[in-house]
Structure 1
């Protein structure tokens, strides 16, 4: 299985979790409303599954996935091209001393869920689980 999204140790603080969720909601809204001045980015449907934040709250990693069979490479190119505008738009809704740098990674949660469902649907696995 993949590496944990959080650092080794006790895990994220309540503040990190709160700020991460606030950034996730704000980023989702910005992308949904098409607040960015890039028609190519605005035509994409992007889901922001989770945002993790570094302990100093200066770096936010957004786990994103294109909806409707979009191409991840194209999505990442457009997000990278509009990174500073996205950062400004997200920071408007935050009451932090610094606007966090936003990094984007592919959210593979949905792929893992599909694989888990596939495994549980196999007769041998279902039989073992039911016993």
Structure 2
């Protein structure tokens, strides 16, 4: 807890609602309910949905399979966000359905960058130097 008694991370309710929205979105994408040229033949995954504390806004992070045309797909999803919200609403059983914004999920890219750094010669050299000091 911080000094002002506010939690540092998302509340359990925010996490639970985010997971409900994530499952609803995955179901909608799997069934192909959205008709848009940019989405034809694309398999879209939803690794994470982050809710605002008031539960009125859902930030959905999506990634097409293989990462191909990610920006175009996110733009298409944002164009159809009101339609998607209407499809999500009955699935999550809440008084108000959140507005949904879509973003490209870059966690895989970031993980790849970190992995590349960890495998670099500089880090290997540092690890080898540390191993000799412990004797």
TM-score of the superposed pair, with normalisation by structure 1: 0.83
User: 1:26: which partner in 2?
Assistant: 24
Partner deviation per Cα, 1:53-108 (whole Å, 9 max, x = no partner): 01111100001122224212311221122111111111121111101000111211
Q: Give the structure with higher Rg (CA).
A: 2
User: What's the CA shift for 1:33?
Assistant: 1.7
Equivalent residue in structure 2 for 1:17, among 15, 18, 42: 15
Q: Any gaps of 5 or more consecutive residues in structure 2? A: 1-5
Displacement, 1:39? 5.7
Q: Structure 1: give runs of 5+ residues left out of the alignment.
A: 1-7
Question: Within 5 Å, which residues of 2 pair with 1:27-66?
Answer: 27-38=25-36, 40-66=38-64
1:101-120 equivalent positions in 2, closer than 5 A: 101-120=99-118
Q: How many residues align?
A: 124
Structure-2 separation of matches of 1:77 and 1:17: 25
Kindly indicate whether the alpha-carbon contact (under 8 Å) linking 1:36 and 1:42 is maintained by their aligned counterparts in 2.
Answer: no
The TM-score with structure 2 as length reference comes to 0.81
Structure with more helix by fraction: 2
In structure 2, distance between residues paired with 1:65 and 1:47: 5
Q: Which moved more, 1:12-21 or 1:71-80?
A: 71-80
